[in-house]
């Protein structure tokens, strides 16, 4: 298969799979628009990956905080919180 044809099919697959575009819609798109959609998808996937990474890091930092406290200190903190209410 020629290189340009395989490139087009890869692009078509991504647009069909992620944006539910029909094959005929992809074929009718000007190349600049097709590339814009692909670049925008890439940007969105990178943003989502970064958000997941940030959320995971925040969760692990919060959970490691409680794991690093000796049990006595945890109980003291809980008791002091209860007294405030």
pLDDT tens-digit profile of 13-54?
A: 999 999 999 999 999 999 999 999 999 999 999 999 999 999
In the predicted structure, residue 85 carries a pLDDT above the cut 60 = no
Q: For residue 24, give the nearest of 14, 36, 12 by alpha carbon.
A: 12
Residues 6+ apart with CB under 8 A from 12: 23, 26, 27
In the predicted structure, residue 71 carries a pLDDT above the cut 90 = no
Q: Give the pLDDT confidence score for residue 58 in this predicted structure.
A: 83
For 15-25, write each residue's pLDDT tens digit: 999 999 999 99
């Amino acid at each position: 298969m020629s290189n340009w044809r395989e490139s087009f099919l890869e692009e078509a697959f991504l647009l069909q799979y992620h944006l539910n575009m029909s094959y005929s819609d992809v074929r009718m798109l000007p190349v600049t628009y097709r590339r814009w959609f692909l670049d925008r998808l890439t940007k969105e996937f990178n943003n989502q990956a970064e958000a997941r990474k940030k959320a995971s890091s925040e969760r692990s930092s919060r959970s490691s905080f409680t794991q690093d406290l000796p049990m006595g200190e945890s109980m003291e903190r809980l008791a002091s919180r209860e007294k405030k209410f």
